[in-house]
């Protein structure tokens, strides 16, 4: 069994593409949030007041978009979340709102800024998918290539190891669509299995991607490649190594240069595990006081440490969950696909592949009908009409982090980042705020020009 008890989550986002809530319910929700923050002062850098709490808000306020402010201040107050949140909203590809709410660091009372960096967890996967499709577009890679061949992997040696020949049939497209053959519920998620990997391979901790791959070559797949889809962090770990092999650059270097820089994004980077290596402008991640686990790396190896700062290795998660970003930069990235004809990082043909329905059971339900929502290449997709209209999204979860990135078919894009993973009524913050974000957006009567 894996050591971690809370593996990464990518978000189901049930409201995307479903019917819009009634205007009456929207007004009721917003009135409730407004009541929670009655008397709030939402000017730049001011403190939002409630009867029992002061929640700092930063960034420039806009009365036209006050529904978002009421929502976030009320949400943080009602759920008593430690830390805070960052919000960015774009319309038709243009950033129109960016604000911070609550605290980047509860201890120092440093407020979240609109440019604060957060661990985005599994929202890293869309970055990896775009990088792979770029390499395909440039003729450096094919979607039906075997990952075993591309990475020039070797069968494991040893009399006590039986190699699963199905490894040779795993393709790049299988990995993009989570159809590679690994089911963490049946076996384990190796990305959170560092202690067992280090012990079995007799290596120095922590387990790095090359170690994790070598370890997994010694273990059987859970199902035939392509037969179905099961969310796999390990599959995206492999894709990161493919990017390195084909490009001749490190994974992070390639993505920053070829995916992010053309969009004017320069602050995003792969994060570090240990608190003392926190990046400039990065928030601190908040978990309960007793949320401790043995460190798998660092100066306190084997000792009890807070989950976000050593219970797993963020650097090893680079291509499936290791990136840092501001909400604004995530919105810039997702908005790049709003008009495929003008996209600076992928052709319209590649974008169609990025969001295409996967074949077989991954795209069809048990009754033989197309799934209402499906995992394409690094994105969840919900078609909303017969003319190609769709909503796309991805979420992320690590201890101390809960995130959501949405690109709605009506031209709205938003990113919501929390530096807390505290659950309320068994819901993570990003999951709980999902439907309320749609309601706050639908309540805007006039958008900034």
Mean pLDDT by groups of 10 residues along the chain of 449 residues: 33 42 43 42 36 79 97 96 98 97 97 98 98 98 98 92 96 98 97 97 98 97 98 98 98 98 98 98 94 97 97 98 98 96 97 97 94 98 92 98 97 98 95 98 96
Burial of 154 (0-12, 13-18, 19+ CB in 10 A): exposed
Report d(CA 79, CA 55) in Å as an integer. Answer: 13
Check residue 24 and give its pLDDT.
Answer: 37
Give the count of beta carbons closer than 10 Å to the beta carbon of residue 39. Answer: 8
Q: How many residues does the chain have?
A: 449
Nearest Cα neighbor of 227 from 174, 173, 148 is 174
Nearest Cα neighbor of 305 from 314, 296, 297, 294 is 294
Alpha carbon distance, N-terminus to C-terminus of the chain:
53
Tokens 């068994």 belong to which residue? 426
Question: Is cis: bond before 237, omega within 30 of 0?
Answer: no
Report d(CA 415, CA 98) in Å as an integer. Answer: 10
The set of residues, in sequence order, having a beta carbon less than 8 Å from that of 170 and lying 6+ positions away, is 146, 147, 148, 180, 181, 221, 225
The pTM of the whole model exceeds 0.85: yes
Check residue 121 and give its pLDDT.
Answer: 98
Report d(CA 133, CA 184) in Å as an integer. Answer: 26
């Amino acid at each position: 069994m894996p050591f971690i008890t809370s593996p990464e989550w990518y978000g189901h986002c049930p409201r995307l593409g479903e019917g819009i809530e009634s205007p009456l319910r929207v007004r009721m929700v917003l009135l409730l949030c407004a009541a929670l923050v009655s008397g709030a002062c939402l000017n730049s850098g001011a403190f939002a007041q409630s009867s029992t709490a002061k929640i700092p808000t930063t960034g420039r306020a806009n009365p036209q978009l006050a529904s978002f402010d009421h929502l976030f201040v009320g949400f943080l107050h009602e759920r008593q979340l430690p830390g805070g949140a960052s919000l960015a909203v774009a319309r038709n590809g243009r950033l129109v709102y960016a604000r911070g709410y609550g605290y980047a660091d509860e201890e120092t009372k440093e407020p979240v800024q609109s440019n604060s960096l957060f661990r985005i967890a599994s929202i890293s996967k869309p970055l990896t998918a775009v990088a792979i499709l770029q390499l395909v577009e440039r003729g450096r890679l094919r979607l039906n290539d075997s990952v075993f061949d591309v990475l020039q992997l070797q069968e494991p040696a040893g009399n006590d190891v039986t190699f699963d020949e199905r490894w040779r049939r795993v393709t790049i497209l299988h990995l993009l669509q989570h159809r590679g053959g690994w089911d963490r519920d049946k076996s384990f998620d190796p990305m959170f299995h560092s202690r067992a990997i280090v012990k079995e391979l007799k290596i120095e901790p922590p387990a790095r991607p090359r170690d994790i791959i070598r370890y997994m070559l010694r273990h059987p797949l859970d199902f035939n490649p392509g037969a179905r889809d099961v969310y796999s962090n390990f599959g995206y770990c492999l894709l990161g190594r493919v990017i390195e092999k084909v490009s001749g650059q490190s994974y992070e270097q390639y993505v920053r240069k070829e995916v992010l820089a053309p969009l004017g994004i320069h602050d995003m980077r792969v994060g570090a595990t240990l608190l003392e290596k926190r990046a400039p402008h990065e928030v601190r991640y908040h978990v309960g006081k007793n949320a401790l686990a043995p460190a798998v790396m660092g100066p306190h190896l084997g000792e009890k440490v807070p989950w976000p700062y050593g219970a797993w290795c963020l650097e090893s998660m680079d291509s499936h969950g290791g990136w840092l970003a501001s909400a604004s930069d995530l919105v810039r990235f997702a908005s790049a696909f709003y008009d495929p004809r003008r996209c600076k990082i992928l052709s319209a043909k590649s974008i169609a592949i990025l969001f295409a329905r996967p074949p077989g059971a991954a795209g069809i339900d048990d009754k033989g009908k197309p799934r209402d929502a499906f995992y394409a290449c690094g994105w969840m997709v919900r078609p909303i009409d017969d003319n190609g209209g769709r909503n796309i999204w991805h979420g992320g979860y690590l201890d101390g982090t809960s995130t959501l990135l949405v690109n709605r078919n009506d031209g709205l894009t938003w990113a919501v980042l929390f530096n807390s993973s505290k659950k309320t009524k068994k819901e993570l913050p990003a999951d709980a705020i999902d439907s309320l974000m749609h309601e706050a957006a639908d309540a805007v009567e006039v958008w900034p020009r």
